Amino acid sequence: MAYDEDLANRIRELILLEEGVTEMRMFGGITFLVDGNMSVSVSGRGGLLVRVDPEQTESLLDKPHAAPFEMRGRKMRGWLRVHADGVRTKRQLQAWVARGVEHARSLPAKG
């Protein structure tokens, strides 16, 4: 399954003015990095992957449409999968993108 290009474009519109944003193909989709740190990714399996503070992972699973992100059968702390229904509106998407960008900015910049 190809990633949702429309979702990627909606993210681009939200982070257009952010400094240090780059894009990279990852996870079968496209990932948006902030100062070299992953923030959000449009998944090739649908929906959005969001990088969050690992300490907040469990509490954020209570949010509608949020699920653990699993890689090779292992749940990845600090990452959430937000199903497509959870990013349909601009407000929904903006909240998740802001959370991912904020966490990426809290990390040391990568060269």
Which structural domains are found in the chain, ordered by start? Answer: 5-105 (3.90.1150.30)
CA angle, corner 34, sides to 28 and 38, nearest 5? Answer: 35
CA distances (Å), 62 to each of 75, 78, 91, in order? 16, 15, 18
Query: How many Å apart are CA 86 and CA 96, to the nearest integer?
Result: 9
pLDDT at 70: 87
**Residue ranges, the chain, pLDDT below 70:** 1, 111
- According to DSSP, residue 49 is labeled E
What global pTM score does this model have? 0.93
pLDDT at 72: 86
% residues pLDDT > 90 (the chain)? 82
Query: How many Å apart are CA 94 and CA 74, to the nearest integer?
Result: 27
